[in-house]
């Protein structure tokens, strides 16, 4: 498969992943209700999910405006997905977007570990959050490597005067 085709497939995958990730932030309470049925009380994960659901339910009942933060989280994911349309159209010219994405993915790791610690998020859950940043590195790393191959082939082409 050609570099351009592979690049487009991985960028499309990344865009879709960002949109899906953002969309899951909106119905957080109903998602947590589902997950607490899947992971029952008495398991570490089930107990944690039940605690989070209780906190979210009580907060939404008394302070629904705080859920607006989830809406903005979703919006940020959608905007970031739009950002990747540039490299989808012209990967070489918009290589900086891929580099930006790689840096953002790397920054997820210390952010999740530090902020999660301050917020009392269990270490295992913080590792799950870190995994999203790590998972983003794979497609973007492949894309950047392929863009560099294209750049190299363009540099090696004879120039017309």
Q: Does the pLDDT of residue 160 top 80, yes or no?
A: no
Alpha-carbon distances, residue 107 vs 34, 119, 127 (angstroms): 30, 18, 13
The percent of residues above 90 in pLDDT, for the chain, comes to 89
Q: Considering only 1-10, 107-116, 137-146, which range has the smallest mean pLDDT?
A: 1-10
At 51 the three-state DSSP class reads helix
Distance between CA atoms of residues 34 and 28, nearest Å: 10
At 136 the three-state DSSP class reads helix
Q: Which residue has the tokens 């997820």?
A: 108
pTM over 0.85: yes
Average pLDDT, stretch 102-109?
97
Q: Does the pLDDT of residue 119 top 80, yes or no?
A: yes
b/e code 97-123 from CB counts within 10 Å (16+ = b): bbebbbeebeebbeebeeebeeeebee
Distance between CA atoms of residues 126 and 4, nearest Å: 35
Distance between CA atoms of residues 19 and 107, nearest Å: 19
- 149, 1 in Cβ contact below 8 A? no
pLDDT in tens, 37-73: 999 888 888 999 999 999 999 999 999 999 999 999 9
Supply 55's token pair: 């906190």
Q: Domain-by-domain residue ranges, the chain?
A: 3-151
Q: What is the DSSP letter of 39?
A: S
- 10, 143 in Cβ contact below 8 A? yes
């Amino acid at each position: 498969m050609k570099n351009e085709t592979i690049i487009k497939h991985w960028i499309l995958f990344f865009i879709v992943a960002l949109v899906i990730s953002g969309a899951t932030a909106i119905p957080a309470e109903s998602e947590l209700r589902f997950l607490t049925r899947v992971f029952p009380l008495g398991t570490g994960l089930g107990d944690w999910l039940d605690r989070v659901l209780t906190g979210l339910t009580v907060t939404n009942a008394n302070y629904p405006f705080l859920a607006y933060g989830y809406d903005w989280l979703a919006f940020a994911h959608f905007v970031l997905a739009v950002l990747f349309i540039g490299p989808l159209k012209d990967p070489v010219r918009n290589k900086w977007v891929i580099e930006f994405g790689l840096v953002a993915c790397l920054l997820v790791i210390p952010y999740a570990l530090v902020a999660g610690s301050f917020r009392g998020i269990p270490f295992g859950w913080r590792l799950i959050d870190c995994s999203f940043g790590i998972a983003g590195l794979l497609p973007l790393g492949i894309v950047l490597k392929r863009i560099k191959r294209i750049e190299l082939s363009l540099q090696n082409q004879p120039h017309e005067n």
